[in-house]
């Protein structure tokens, strides 16, 4: 595993591994034990330019390459991930603090999205559009946008880099990837290494490991990329969207959430407890779709709460490399401090801690809070960690109002014995995704993924990925002579 952190601690530009030329280094730490994993000299504005120019040059030939030939690269990449699965899992555990369960989950999804990318290469289809002009043939072509800039987050960095990088490449584009500073290997150079070894031509995929303190807005302002795919917070996403709009480029934004899992009075309580615990505590709650709020009909509140708290008590917090660990460390100390502050604030506002987890370095034990005042800001913001708010309600109408009372609208779930009642409930929620009798955390390669309100703009997966990373081109052919009025 250590070779990943030594060999890949570089920039990958124009098919070459090279050190950055910035004046300082990004230090990559293991969030569990503080071990220094790598030191990476950051990329400068000039290197960002080099990366985009390389992608622009390489894309011309790649975009004209037969789609069946492009497919072979993704088939090989999939085989390499299968072959290196155990090593990659160890890197995920070390760099992210992801548990073994989480590493397996992320690798499973990466493979699923690569399989879909193999098919995406063949997905774009042209059309012949009728014309009111005699003898005119209107051809509509789907063509690559050219170059895509991808900015990935720290929570599922391998998946959320691959999820944009692989489809963009499959559809004939060049790509420049900027991973999060806390996950430069898993989210960046590991992706480059997989595709390099899979035979992707040099220059098509570039990885720049850097920081906005060094490059400012150069990554999103650069004239080459036509689309920026960003996954991260709504605060940064708003800035990305603003800069993209000012520079006439498209942005695809997958942002935060404040999901709710709703338990109606006729639900299977034991099953709902299992779904709610997973939906809140998977990967320490560092998931945009995680259930920050669990809403329970007041008639079953006591039974649900007792069983929920009892199950949460069984979740082991500790070393993510231990197969028994369910909750590993959060990504860094500032995140841990923010979570402790949120719990303290909730209690100060009048909430009761049914379970008050302690914080040791980056290990944050689960907390379960109830009785938070309805007007608390904490109920309307994203809590990115193992802290949950239990909220009672009286009837469906009140539940719908509470669920929608947030600036976010990403995911959610409802539990009920009546499927159509659940579907009708889901239709009333202002969210891009909602699940009946399941958890809140789902992502499938063919189903459009994205949110409403502050949770993002645009969708990825399936046909919506084709829309995101291609553009339409109208070419008309006049058979015979056209008529001009002068």
Percent of the chain that is helix, strand, coil (3-state, to 5): 40, 20, 35
Phi, psi of 56, rounded to the nearest 5 degrees: -65, -45
443 inside domain: no
Predicted confidence (pLDDT) per residue in 141-198, tens digit: 999 999 999 999 999 999 999 999 999 999 999 999 999 999 999 999 999 999 999 9
Residues 341 and 408 in one domain: yes
Check pLDDT > 80 for residue 213. yes
- Specify the number of domains making up the chain: 2
Q: How far is the CA of 424 from the CAs of 403, 419, 420, in angstroms?
A: 14, 9, 6
56 inside domain: yes
- When pLDDT is cut at 50, 70 and 90, the band that residue 123 belongs to is confident
Sign of the torsion formed by the C-alpha atoms of 417, 421, 426 and 428: negative
CATH code of the domain in which 295 resides = 3.40.309.10
CATH code of the domain in which 13 resides = 3.40.605.10
For the ranges 123-132, 187-196, 257-266, 286-295, which has the lowest average pLDDT?
Answer: 123-132
Residues 351 and 271 in one domain: yes
Per cent of the chain over pLDDT 70 is 100
What is residue 144's predicted lDDT score, i.e. its pLDDT? 97
Check pLDDT > 80 for residue 262. yes
Residues 240 and 268 in one domain: no
Predicted confidence (pLDDT) per residue in 44-89, tens digit: 999 999 999 999 999 999 999 999 999 999 999 999 999 999 999 9
Does 244 participate in catalysis according to the annotation?
Answer: no
Sign of the torsion formed by the C-alpha atoms of 356, 359, 362 and 365: negative
Residues 270 and 184 in one domain: no
Of 16, 43, 29, 22, nearest to 209 (Cα)? Answer: 43
Please give the residue range of the domain that contains residue 415: 259-436
Check pLDDT > 90 for residue 388. yes
378 inside domain: yes
Of 155, 102, 103, 104, nearest to 278 (Cα)? Answer: 102
Residues 245 and 387 in one domain: no
Measure CA 479 to chain center: 48
> How confident is the prediction for the chain on average, in pLDDT?
97
Report the relative pairing of strands 127-129 and 136-144 from DSSP bridges. antiparallel
Phi, psi of 37, rounded to the nearest 5 degrees: -90, -40
CA atoms of 440 and 247, how far apart (whole Å)? 35
* Tokens read off for 385: 């960690």
482 inside domain: no
332 inside domain: yes
What is residue 104's predicted lDDT score, i.e. its pLDDT? 97
Residues 333 and 463 in one domain: no
Does 288 participate in catalysis according to the annotation?
Answer: yes
Residues 73 and 198 in one domain: yes
Check pLDDT > 80 for residue 411. yes
pTM: 0.97
Residues 240 and 184 in one domain: yes
3-class DSSP string for 90-101 = HHHHHHHCCCHH
DSSP label at residue 449: B
What is residue 59's predicted lDDT score, i.e. its pLDDT? 98
Residues 222 and 272 in one domain: no
Helix axes 100-120, 85-96, angle to 10 degrees: 120
What is residue 1's predicted lDDT score, i.e. its pLDDT? 61
Residues 399 and 459 in one domain: no
448 inside domain: no
Residues 399 and 285 in one domain: yes
- What are the DSSP calls for 186-222, one per residue? IIIIHHHHHHHHTTPPTTSEEE----HHHHTTHHHH-
CA atoms of 299 and 351, how far apart (whole Å)? 20
- Residue of 254, 301, 382, 396 with catalytic role: 254
Residues 97 and 133 in one domain: yes
Predicted confidence (pLDDT) per residue in 293-340, tens digit: 999 999 999 999 999 999 999 999 999 999 999 999 999 999 999 999
269 inside domain: yes
CA atoms of 151 and 181, how far apart (whole Å)? 11
- Residue of 47, 106, 116, 288 with catalytic role: 288
483 inside domain: no
What is residue 366's predicted lDDT score, i.e. its pLDDT? 98
What is the average pLDDT across 446-471? 96
Residue 474's SS3 state is strand
Tell me if 327 sits within 8 A of 277, measured CB to CB. no
């Amino acid at each position: 595993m250590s070779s990943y952190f030594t060999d890949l601690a570089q920039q990958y530009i124009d098919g070459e591994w090279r050190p950055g030329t910035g004046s300082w280094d990004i230090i990559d730490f293991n969030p569990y034990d503080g071990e220094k994993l790598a030191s990476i000299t950051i990329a400068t504005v000039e290197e960002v330019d080099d990366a985009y120019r390389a992608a622009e040059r390489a894309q011309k030939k790649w975009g004209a390459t037969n789609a069946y030939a492009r497919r072979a690269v993704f088939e090989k990449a999939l085989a390499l991930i299968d072959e290196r699965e155990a090593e990659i899992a160890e890197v995920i555990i070390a760099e992210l603090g992801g548990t073994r369960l989480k590493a397996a989950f992320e690798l499973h999804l990466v493979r699923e999205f690569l399989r879909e990318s193999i098919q995406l290469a063949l997905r774009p289809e042209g059309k012949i559009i009728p014309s009111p002009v005699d003898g005119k043939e209107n051809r509509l072509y789907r063509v690559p946008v050219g170059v895509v800039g991808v900015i990935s987050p720290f929570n599922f960095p391998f998946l959320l880099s691959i999820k944009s990088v692989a489809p963009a490449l499959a559809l004939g584009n060049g790509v420049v990837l900027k991973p999060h500073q806390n996950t430069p290997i898993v989210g960046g150079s590991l992706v480059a290494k997989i595709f390099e070894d899979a035979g992707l031509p040099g220059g098509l995929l570039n990885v720049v490991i850097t920081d906005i303190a060094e490059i400012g807005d150069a990554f999103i302002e650069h004239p080459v990329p036509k689309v920026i795919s960003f996954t991260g917070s709504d605060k940064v996403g708003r800035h990305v969207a603003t800069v993209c709009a000012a520079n006439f480029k498209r942005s695809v934004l997958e942002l935060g959430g404040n999901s709710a899992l709703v338990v109606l009075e006729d639900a299977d309580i034991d099953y709902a407890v299992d779904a709610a615990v997973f939906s809140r505590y998977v990967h320490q709650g560092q998931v945009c779709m995680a259930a920050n709020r669990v809403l329970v009909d007041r008639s079953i509140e006591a039974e649900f709460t007792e069983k929920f708290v009892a199950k949460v008590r069984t979740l082991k917090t500790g070393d993510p490399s231990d197969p028994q660990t369910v909750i590993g460390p959060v990504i860094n100390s500032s995140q841990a401090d923010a979570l402790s502050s949120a719990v303290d604030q909730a209690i100060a506002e009048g909430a009761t801690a049914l379970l008050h987890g302690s914080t040791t370095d980056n290990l944050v034990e689960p907390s379960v809070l109830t009785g938070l005042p309805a007007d608390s800001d904490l109920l309307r913001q994203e809590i990115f960690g193992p802290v949950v708010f239990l909220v009672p309600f009286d009837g469906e109408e009140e539940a719908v109002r509470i669920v929608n009372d947030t600036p976010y609208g990403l995911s959610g779930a409802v539990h009920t014995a009546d499927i159509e009642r659940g579907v009708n409930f889901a239709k009333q929620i202002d969210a891009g995704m909602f699940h009946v009798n399941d958890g809140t955390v789902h992502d499938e390669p063919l189903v459009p993924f994205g949110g409403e309100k502050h949770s993002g703009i645009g969708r990825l997966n399936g046909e919506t990925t084709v829309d995101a990373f291609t553009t339409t081109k109208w070419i008309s052919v006049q058979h015979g002579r056209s008529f001009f009025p002068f």
